[in-house]
Amino acid sequence: MAEKRRVLLTGGTGYIGSHSAVSFVEAGYDVALLDNFSNSSPRVLDRLEQILGQRLKVYEVDVCDEPRLREALASFSPQAVVHFAGLKAVGESVKEPQRYYENNVAGTLSLLRAMAAEKVQDLVFSSSATVYGDPASVPITEAFPRSATNPYGRSKLMVEDMLMDLCVSDPGWNIALLRYFNPVGAHNSGLIGEDPTGIPNNLMPFVTQVAVGRRAKLSVFGGDYPTHDGTGVRDYIHVTDLAEGHVSALASLDRTPDGAPLVVNLGTGKGYSVLETLRAFEKASGCSVPFEIAPRRPGDVAECYADPSRARDLIGWEAKLGLDRMCEDAWRWQANNPDGYTS
Ligand code: NAD
Ligand code: UFG
């Protein structure tokens, strides 16, 4: 029997990493996780064991710690790395830019050096629709101009540029840049899900925390956008679909045009407003979610949704699960774990 392909997931105990671990194992990969647990709980490992029926190997390592990263790579000897590890809170990045550049940019450089030293050159990177800044129109294709309005976004732009240059310099690298739209939802077991520390920045975890009684009401940021109901429109994508996008991307790394990185949007192509999302959640959960219209949040754009056709054409992937299912699964996770992994 052929040996299983090994893949190392940095940031693998986080929200998207843990769901991707499930998808990679189900696709037949041998998976190990690497994380410093700065924004995740070791309890994820027990939950993954319940889902998968096997305990995944985990390396407690900071990606900025190159010697320990090398040790982990040498010990597991993966054929590929999926690099989720990073800090992701936009507001925090404005207050602590240096920490964001250290963690997201210097951390990626450290990973690249360790990979080169261990002769691992297949890499899938978590980029973001944030690289499109304030898009001139929607849907957004991969050819749209890129810009950044905050240090988090700039860290993603910098890493994208670094990885593009690396591919030009050495055709041995095979790299995918996956630009995620708005990941929401949870594994349908209700055992793993999104567990933000403190007050959630993102809409869906805020809504589920109101529904479960942890917060009094939702503030809808802006009721006067030029959208059909005045609230912001986003492309919400089920985290399980997103996870499967990584499996498809890794299997298609050799299809990179002229050795350049494979750049694809991972979104559904459908935009929903905040109020539509709220109504879908109320229907799926049977809970009513009190809200008030509040001022716009600085830096937010009116509308952001993907043209997902390149992902379909290049990596054979498309999102399958709709907004109702995203809301049902987000609610199952929150209702079963009212305080997240500390429940
Ligand atoms: P998350 O915070 O749940 O997961 C990130 C994981 O990386 C955490 O487990 C954290 O402990 C770990 N980590 C952070 N810094 C590390 C370091 N220096 N060394 C080792 N581990 C480290 O976030 P997520 O939502 O799963 O996001 C994963 C990736 O996807 C991030 O790079 C993020 O920027 C990107 N992304 C997320 C979204 C989103 O809305 N969730 C959207 C676009 C892109
Ligand atoms: N919103 C509210 N109230 C809240 C939270 C959000 O009304 O309490 C609104 C926002 O104004 C926006 C929509 O809900 O219209 C979605 O907001 P999120 O914070 O959930 O998501 P964003 O689109 O602002 O940002 C997300 C990630 C970023 C990433 C970006 C890429 O958090 O890291 O998607 O599109 F860069």
Show the DSSP H helices in 27-78 as ranges: 43-52, 66-76
CA-CA-CA-CA torsion sign (340, 97, 34, 257): positive
- The widest CA-to-CA distance across the chain, in whole angstroms, is 60
* Paired residues of 262 in beta bridges: 176
C-alpha 322 to ligand 1 mean position (Å): 24
42 preceded by a cis bond (ω within 30 of 0): no
> What pLDDT score was predicted for residue 310?
97
Of the listed ligands, the closest to the CA of 124 is 1
The CATH code of domain 6-186+236-267 reads 3.40.50.720
Locate 290 and state its tokens: 């009190």
C-alpha 35 to ligand 1 mean position (Å): 10
Tell me if 206 CB under 6 Å of ligand 2.
yes
Q: Where are the domains of the chain?
A: 6-186+236-267
- DSSP secondary structure letters along 72-121: HHHHH--SEEEE------HHHHHH-HHHHIIIIIIHHHHHHHHHHHTT--
Atom index in ligand 2 nearest the CA of residue 274 equals 14
Please choose, from the candidates 209, 185, 194, the residue with its C-alpha nearest in 3D space to the C-alpha of residue 341: 194
**3-state helix, strand and coil shares in percent for the chain, rounded to the nearest 5:** 45, 20, 40
- Residue 125's alpha-carbon distances to 150, 161, 199, in angstroms, are 19, 12, 27
> What pLDDT score was predicted for residue 3?
79
Tell me if 150 CB under 6 Å of ligand 2.
no
> Is the pTM value of this prediction over 0.85?
yes
Atom index in ligand 1 nearest the CA of residue 103 equals 18
By alpha-carbon position, which residue is closest to atom 4 of ligand 2?
A: 203
By alpha-carbon position, which residue is closest to atom 27 of ligand 2?
A: 182
- DSSP secondary structure letters along 293-323: EEPPPTT--SEE-B--HHHHHHH-------H
Of the listed ligands, the closest to the CA of 199 is 2
C-alpha dihedral (3, 9, 15, 16), degrees to nearest 10: -70
Locate 107 and state its tokens: 């951390």
C-alpha 84 to ligand 1 mean position (Å): 5
By alpha-carbon position, which residue is closest to atom 8 of ligand 2?
A: 203
pLDDT in tens for each of the 343 residues of the chain? 567 899 999 999 999 999 999 999 999 999 999 999 999 999 999 999 999 999 999 999 999 999 999 999 999 999 999 999 999 999 999 999 999 999 999 999 999 999 999 999 999 999 999 999 999 999 999 999 999 999 999 999 999 999 999 999 999 999 999 999 999 999 999 999 999 999 999 999 999 999 999 999 999 999 999 999 999 999 999 999 999 999 999 999 987 768 899 999 999 999 999 999 999 999 999 999 999 999 999 989 999 999 999 999 999 999 999 999 999 999 999 999 999 999 8
Taking the C-alpha atoms of residue 220 and residue 270, their distance in angstroms, rounded to an integer, is 20
Map tokens 């190392």 to a residue. Answer: 8
C-alpha 284 to ligand 2 mean position (Å): 20
Tell me which residues are annotated as active site: 152
